[in-house]
Structure 1
Amino acid sequence: MASLDSVSLAILLGAVLVMAGILSSLLALRFGAPLLLVFLVIGMLAGDSGPGQIQFDDVRTTYLVGSVALALILFDGGLKTRFASIRTVLAPSVVLATVGVLLTALITAPFAKYALDLNWTESLLVGAVVASTDAAAVFLLVHTQGLRLRPRVGATLEAESGTNDPFAIFLTLMLVEYISLGSSSAGHVLMEFLQEAVLGAVVGFFGGRLVVIALNQVALPQGLHAPFVTTGALVIFGGSQIMHASGFLAVYLAGIIIGNRPTRAHNSVVTFLDAATWLAQIVMFVLLGLLVSPSRLGASVLPAVAVALVLMLVARPLAVFVCLAPFRFNWRERIFIAWTGLRGAVAIFLASIPMLVGLSKAYLYFDVAFVVVIISLLLQGWTLAPAARKLHVALPRAERGPRRVELDLPGQLEQQLVGYPVQSKSLYFRRGLIPSWSKPTLVIRNENILTPTEADPIAPGDYIYLLAPPEKAESLDRFFVDMQPSTAPDPHLLGDFMVSGEHTLAELAEIYGVKVSEDEGKLTLADYFDVHLDRAPKEGAELALDEIVLVARSISGGRVNVVGLRLPEDEETPAPLTRWQALRRKLAELWTSVAGV
């Protein structure tokens, strides 16, 4: 019975620790503290050096839980990644995820060698352990601090964070193998890398396609689609690892394949994985905190702080600037990308590998990684929002998303039912706007179900359900949030080819002779972008209007407030002159007349 009681006690204590971590996240969100730091501290307090006095040194269990958690985190990240959004930044992201990780490790190694009194191989292992960024930490802090990164910067960080973990893991494993066996040629390392990368990509691609086929063809009972996809991800990860391929790369690519294909129960899969990933992170962070011994940290804390500062202020910035040199990033974007190289649980997880294989100085690697993560979260985490605003690479997230309900429709994959509460200040209620690819289907009012015709006019407090493609459902949000007041467009931008987004299509048709229908003539240019774009408008977005092209030049409150006009080239009918061109022509005519006199 004593053994049964010990098992029950372990379950109770584990559940209490996880619950404490979840509840403490409310304080972290309130005061901006990184959640990872909260969970690590809870694990430390519960450990043998804290008031909890829990004796825990099971590195194998920690590695197992960490592997599963990291696989789920990468799979979830891939599932939410739209390939169209990262396609334009794929090259710089891959360079950062490979060359950037290697450069970071190489630059950090000399400082680690002299600060920690290690040989060159051991110091390079320290650099490899802390070289990769943590996607979960970066984007959790971005969202909790109310930031919306500029598209190119956000997509680059997203793709880099998702793809640099496999390379850092490969680099760490190769160095651990070299230290353990004492010999490994450069050719062997290169062949190992190619094998893991190529096989991982192949397994991830075909594994993701097989999961999509099975998900759409097999008639699973309601509620089992999400667990099926989650276990499928773990099968892909485990199978890749057994084949000596990169399981982390495979599971990330599989997530991208599944997330960018039409599948059944897509929204329930995403929701389930969010919860599973969140729980896995909590358990992993608490276990990593339990492994930390504050009394052991005393001897290495000062050298570890020096390594952390060199990593953040020297190694990461140099690697980013070198890797992004061939690409068109301005200096503000490069500085911000360098500063957002947050270290998280991945670094501590990698540091547990030397402990697992029993390397000498293994606890030193672990302690250094722990100190680096703490300093990174404290210094970079709390300054992320001020840095983003100071460098003008992010805009405040002014609106909160509406409460969206998504329902899958059995028998087809092209449409789903999306529901929203109608708010009095929403774009839908105030202007009656709805995108052309969505279709209002039913309205719930005072617990009565009505058709859109029966419910006309729609009133605040109603719930409206629309048919929309699953991949575009999130784009409906902007029509049902409270409209932000539009700022006045910059008068210096407005000329013959720049107009305010509040002008109507009818006014534009009268000036430029384009043809618009009577109904569309009442729309403003900002409305026209909202109705016909698949996504929220961004600077540079284009829409054709008869023979001219409208170009979004400035965005305010999530809407277009300055529109550029690209007119057709016609030799017989010259395009209207800009104000500057007209002024120059008048000055030339005046000079001619004066000279003639």
Structure 2
Amino acid sequence: MATGTEGALAPVLGFALVGALGVGSQWLAWRLRMPAIVLMLAAGLIVGPGLGILDPGRDFGDLLQPMVAIAVAIILFEGGLSLHWGSLAGAATGVTRLVVIGAPLGWLASALALHYAAGLSWATSAVFGGIMIVTGPTVIAPLLRQARLRRRPAALLQWEAIVNDPVGALAAVLAFEIVIVLETATGAGTAALDLVVGVVIASVLGLAAGWGAARAFARGMVPEYMKVPVLFALVLGVFALSDAVLHESGLLAVTLMGLLIANVELPSYVELRRFKEHATVLLVSGVFILLAADMDRATLASLDLNALLFVLATVLLARPAAVLTALAFSDVPWRERLLVAFTGPRGVVLVAVAGLFGARLAEIGVEDGAAMPPLAFALVAATVVLHGFTLRPLAQLLGLTAADRPGVLIVGGSPWSVALAQALTRLDLPVMIADPNHAHLRSAREAGIETFFGDVLSEEAEHRLDLVRYEQVIAATDNDAYNTLVTTDLAPEFGREKVFQLKRVRDGSSRHALPATLGGRGLGPDDSFGEAVARIESGWEFRATRLSSEFSLKDWREANPEAIPVADLSEGGTLRFLEPRDEPRDVEGLRLVALTPKRPERRERGERRPTA
């Protein structure tokens, strides 16, 4: 293995190892349905203090801190880019209270926990307590993705995490300036002036850069292929300039920059945001691996009973007290208050800023400042593991998950769509039919199916629909071009293997064939819209059958020779739609959904079709 001096990994190998462990942990977490953050933390501890293979401080040297700082800046910029005002619908009051009231209360409660539970001095407790306001978008985003919360509690946690990150860093700066005044001869007026000037410059820089980028993009002054590179360069420039004026103010600047760009209706906003999300997945992975690997055994060994008491006091007392007080007498339901109060995972910003200010406090004579980094790591590790495993169960207990089973979104209110929706509903799966034509939804409403009147690609749908409830999309309107547009647009969000559409009428012609990057997958009998509706109107119906040891797939085929399999549902609740050439699984307990001709005995009895 190529290494440098004293067993250090070559920097390129170190980067490769961090990338492989980070992405590998996320993939493994997806396969095992576990919190990705927990696996990333474990992987970093194993290759770092565990096996000694990776030591970021040794292997990357002076580059480590700038790397982490830049990564955090990009993560916060992407976080700001995801904060569209429309997503605040129904949660604005709660978010405002969590930031305006909850942040100062959290600072005070955290400082008390640090002083009385961890035994730190008031100076160190004040600085560290400010940093502890942050709840970490690096952690919240993966946890929300896994927990599948309802829209409002998810918005509360997401907005609080992203907005309070720079607020917490600036609170630490304020407390640090006060400590400097008390410990040195620096004047209070000078310290206050430095803080105010830094915050103003950071705000102006962030908003100006966001406004300038938005204007340049909207006027076509930047070609499409350069928009993402230009944004990255702007983020790095704004962060560096702001940080040069006041340490940690760069976090505020890039968050404001992202927030402004998210709310100016850029035509290329979706593409920009998706690229940032991909970059953020890589950065979050890498930063957490570095965070865990950079801990040494001596630091971990220094964690004692006081550290445990501090973590318990923070999780069980300080966080709940601040949140419940901030949300008291608000319109936020009590279940959501409890979920937010007992969900406060900390992330990489806490450790990075704690390490910086801990060293600075030690330099000016505050000896217990050196205790900040290990306590910060203990809090991050404990809250990541705790909330990683408890957020979804707690949300389920409080009734705040979007759905126990991920459902299906059907676009197009035809008789075929209603028949399929009824069959899936009978399997206890959430189903919604969306259509911009109100008349097309009449049959669905009469059948008791949940509906959305409007364009599923509209901004209104993005803000009103809890898309996290749905895992798969079927585009089944009478407009082939619109079906292709819907599946192409939603594929990055749902996954290309989870979006389907009815066959295009001219799909068989090479002149009209589309590339594989456009449209969704085929479905079941491979019918066009006209053929699909004609089947239903001629008496075909969707029917679900459970396979067993006595009635196998072979038996089902013999009993239903004309039936066409459309989907299968495992006992664990995993729904799989079948493409025309796919074979159903022959598994005991599996429920097979198929399109079949109406049974003769039903015709004789004159029963109504389920699509009526």
Asked if these proteins are the same fold (TM beyond 0.5), I'd say: yes
**Deviation, structure 1 residue 254:** 1.5
| Distance in 1 of aligned mates of 2:395 and 2:244 | 42
Note closer, same or farther for the CA distance 1:18–1:401 as it changes in structure 2 (3 Å cut): farther
| Distance in 1 of aligned mates of 2:8 and 2:55 | 14
Q: Secondary structure at the match of 1:261?
A: coil
| Distance in 2 of aligned mates of 1:228 and 1:291 | 32
Residues 100-499 of structure 1 mapped to structure 2, 5 A cutoff: 100-145=102-147, 147-151=148-152, 153-179=153-179, 182-183=183-184, 191-244=193-246, 246-354=249-357, 357=360, 359=363, 360-396=367-403, 398-399=405-406, 427=433, 464-466=483-485
Q: Secondary structure at the match of 2:149?
A: strand
| Distance in 2 of aligned mates of 1:392 and 1:325 | 20
Note closer, same or farther for the CA distance 1:155–1:53 as it changes in structure 2 (3 Å cut): closer
| Distance in 2 of aligned mates of 1:308 and 1:137 | 17
1:25 aligns with 2:32: no
Residues 517-596 of structure 1 mapped to structure 2, 5 A cutoff: none
Residue in 1 that maps onto 2:558:
none
Q: Are the counterparts in 1 of residues 102 and 323 from structure 2 also a CA contact under 8 Å?
A: yes
Residue in 2 that maps onto 1:41:
42
Note closer, same or farther for the CA distance 1:87–1:246 as it changes in structure 2 (3 Å cut): farther
Note closer, same or farther for the CA distance 1:185–1:315 as it changes in structure 2 (3 Å cut): farther
RMSD after superposition: 4.2
| Distance in 2 of aligned mates of 1:456 and 1:35 | 37
Give structure 1 stretches of 5+ with no counterpart. 405-422, 440-454, 483-597
| Distance in 1 of aligned mates of 2:114 and 2:9 | 44
**Deviation, structure 1 residue 315:** 0.5
Q: Are the counterparts in 2 of residues 48 and 55 from structure 1 also a CA contact under 8 Å?
A: no
Residue in 1 that maps onto 2:520:
none
What is the percent sequence identity of the aligned residues?
A: 25
CA deviation vs aligned residue, 1:62-87 (integer Å, no higher than 9, x gap)? 33222212211121112122212226
| Distance in 2 of aligned mates of 1:331 and 1:299 | 39
Residue in 1 that maps onto 2:561:
none
**Deviation, structure 1 residue 394:** 3.0
Q: Are the counterparts in 1 of residues 119 and 306 from structure 2 also a CA contact under 8 Å?
A: no
**Deviation, structure 1 residue 164:** 0.6
Give structure 2 stretches of 5+ with no counterpart. 412-418, 422-431, 442-451, 458-475, 502-612
**Deviation, structure 1 residue 213:** 1.2
Q: Are the counterparts in 1 of residues 127 and 173 from structure 2 also a CA contact under 8 Å?
A: no
- The letter for the 1-side match of 2:73 is A
| Distance in 1 of aligned mates of 2:238 and 2:260 | 13
| Distance in 2 of aligned mates of 1:203 and 1:53 | 37
**Deviation, structure 1 residue 168:** 0.9
- The letter for the 2-side match of 1:174 is L
**Deviation, structure 1 residue 37:** 3.1
| Distance in 1 of aligned mates of 2:384 and 2:208 | 37
CA deviation vs aligned residue, 1:134-156 (integer Å, no higher than 9, x gap)? 123123212213x23242x3322
Residue in 1 that maps onto 2:522:
none
Note closer, same or farther for the CA distance 1:148–1:115 as it changes in structure 2 (3 Å cut): closer
CA deviation vs aligned residue, 1:358-406 (integer Å, no higher than 9, x gap)? 54445421111111111111222211111112222332264468899xx
| Distance in 1 of aligned mates of 2:399 and 2:35 | 23
Q: Are the counterparts in 1 of residues 323 and 341 from structure 2 also a CA contact under 8 Å?
A: yes
- The letter for the 2-side match of 1:127 is G
- The letter for the 1-side match of 2:203 is A
Q: Are the counterparts in 1 of residues 98 and 326 from structure 2 also a CA contact under 8 Å?
A: yes
**Deviation, structure 1 residue 339:** 1.1
| Distance in 2 of aligned mates of 1:457 and 1:89 | 37
Q: Are the counterparts in 2 of residues 336 and 388 from structure 1 also a CA contact under 8 Å?
A: yes
Q: Secondary structure at the match of 1:394?
A: coil
Residue in 2 that maps onto 1:588:
none
| Distance in 2 of aligned mates of 1:214 and 1:112 | 47
Q: Are the counterparts in 1 of residues 37 and 142 from structure 2 also a CA contact under 8 Å?
A: no
CA deviation vs aligned residue, 1:476-508 (integer Å, no higher than 9, x gap)? x9x9779xxxxxxxxxxxxxxxxxxxxxxxxxx
Note closer, same or farther for the CA distance 1:333–1:191 as it changes in structure 2 (3 Å cut): farther
Note closer, same or farther for the CA distance 1:354–1:403 as it changes in structure 2 (3 Å cut): farther
CA deviation vs aligned residue, 1:515-548 (integer Å, no higher than 9, x gap)? xxxxxxxxxxxxxxxxxxxxxxxxxxxxxxxxxx
Q: Secondary structure at the match of 1:327?
A: coil
Q: Secondary structure at the match of 1:205?
A: helix
| Distance in 1 of aligned mates of 2:44 and 2:254 | 28
Note closer, same or farther for the CA distance 1:199–1:86 as it changes in structure 2 (3 Å cut): farther
**Deviation, structure 1 residue 27:** 2.6
Q: Secondary structure at the match of 1:392?
A: coil
Residue in 1 that maps onto 2:86:
84
Q: Secondary structure at the match of 2:402?
A: strand
1:12 aligns with 2:13: yes
- The letter for the 2-side match of 1:52 is I
**Deviation, structure 1 residue 106:** 1.9
TM-score normalised by the chain length of structure 2: 0.63
Q: Are the counterparts in 2 of residues 400 and 481 from structure 1 also a CA contact under 8 Å?
A: no
Q: Are the counterparts in 2 of residues 130 and 372 from structure 1 also a CA contact under 8 Å?
A: no
Please identify, of 122-131 and 58-67, the stretch whose mean Cα deviation from structure 2 is larger.
58-67
| Distance in 1 of aligned mates of 2:295 and 2:162 | 26
Residue in 1 that maps onto 2:57:
56
**Deviation, structure 1 residue 424:** 6.9
Q: Are the counterparts in 2 of residues 63 and 352 from structure 1 also a CA contact under 8 Å?
A: no
Note closer, same or farther for the CA distance 1:205–1:13 as it changes in structure 2 (3 Å cut): closer
Q: Are the counterparts in 2 of residues 32 and 382 from structure 1 also a CA contact under 8 Å?
A: no
Q: Secondary structure at the match of 2:203?
A: helix
Note closer, same or farther for the CA distance 1:50–1:175 as it changes in structure 2 (3 Å cut): farther
Note closer, same or farther for the CA distance 1:302–1:11 as it changes in structure 2 (3 Å cut): same
TM-score normalised by the chain length of structure 1: 0.64
| Distance in 2 of aligned mates of 1:403 and 1:3 | 55
Note closer, same or farther for the CA distance 1:262–1:111 as it changes in structure 2 (3 Å cut): closer
- The letter for the 2-side match of 1:36 is I
**Deviation, structure 1 residue 249:** 2.0
Q: Are the counterparts in 2 of residues 236 and 250 from structure 1 also a CA contact under 8 Å?
A: yes
**Deviation, structure 1 residue 4:** 8.9
Note closer, same or farther for the CA distance 1:288–1:4 as it changes in structure 2 (3 Å cut): closer
**Deviation, structure 1 residue 322:** 1.7
Q: Secondary structure at the match of 1:341?
A: coil
